[in-house]
C-alpha cells in the first residue's frame, strides 16, 4: 500500500476510534464552519462499521483526514504516543 495512503487511513481510523474525545457533533460543526459538508450520520456509520472506510466518498475521507491532521497531537496523546515517539516510528518506517 502507498505510504501516503496508509498514513491517511491510519490517521482517519485514529479519529474514528477517538469517539470520547471527538464526538460526531464536534467534527460535523468544525467541518461546517470550514464549508465542508460532513454529517454525524456519516461519521456514525463509519464508526459502527455500517460503512467501510474504503467505501466512503472521497470528500468524506478528505474531511476526516483534514480534521484529524489538525488534531493529530491530541489523537496521538490519547493513544499514549508522544510526538517524538511518533517521529521515531515514522523515520523507522521510511528506512
pLDDT tens digit sequence for 31-75: 999 898 999 999 999 999 999 999 999 999 999 999 999 999 888
* Residue 61: domain span: 3-70
Whats the size of the chain, residue-wise? Answer: 95
Q: How many domains does the chain have?
A: 1
Instruction: Measure the CA–CA gap between 31 and 43, rounded to whole angstroms.
Output: 12
43 occurs within a structural domain: yes
Q: What is the mean pLDDT of residues 3-29?
A: 92
84 occurs within a structural domain: no
Residue 82: what pLDDT? 57
Q: What is the pTM of this model?
A: 0.78
Residue scoring higher pLDDT (92 or 60): 60
Sign for the pseudo-dihedral over CA of 27, 28, 31, 36? positive
37 occurs within a structural domain: yes
Residue scoring higher pLDDT (76 or 12): 12
Q: Which residue do the cell numbers 515514522 mark?
A: 90
- Cβ partners under 8 Å of residue 24, min gap 6: 40, 43, 44, 47
Q: Which three cell numbers stand for residue 68?
A: 484529524
78 occurs within a structural domain: no
User: pLDDT averaged over the chain?
Assistant: 85
* Of the candidates 87, 65, 66, the residue with the CA atom closest to the CA atom of residue 76: 87
Amino acid at each position: 500500500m502507498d505510504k501516503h495512503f496508509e498514513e491517511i487511513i491510519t490517521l482517519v481510523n485514529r479519529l474514528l476510534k477517538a469517539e470520547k474525545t471527538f464526538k460526531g457533533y464536534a467534527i460535523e460543526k468544525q467541518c461546517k464552519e470550514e464549508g465542508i459538508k460532513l454529517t454525524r450520520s456519516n461519521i456514525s456509520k463509519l464508526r459502527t462499521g455500517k460503512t467501510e472506510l474504503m467505501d466512503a466518498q472521497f470528500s468524506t475521507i478528505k474531511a476526516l483526514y483534514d480534521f484529524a491532521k489538525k488534531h493529530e497531537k491530541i489523537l496521538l496523546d490519547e493513544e499514549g504516543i508522544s510526538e517524538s515517539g511518533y517521529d521515531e516510528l515514522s523515520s523507522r518506517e521510511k528506512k
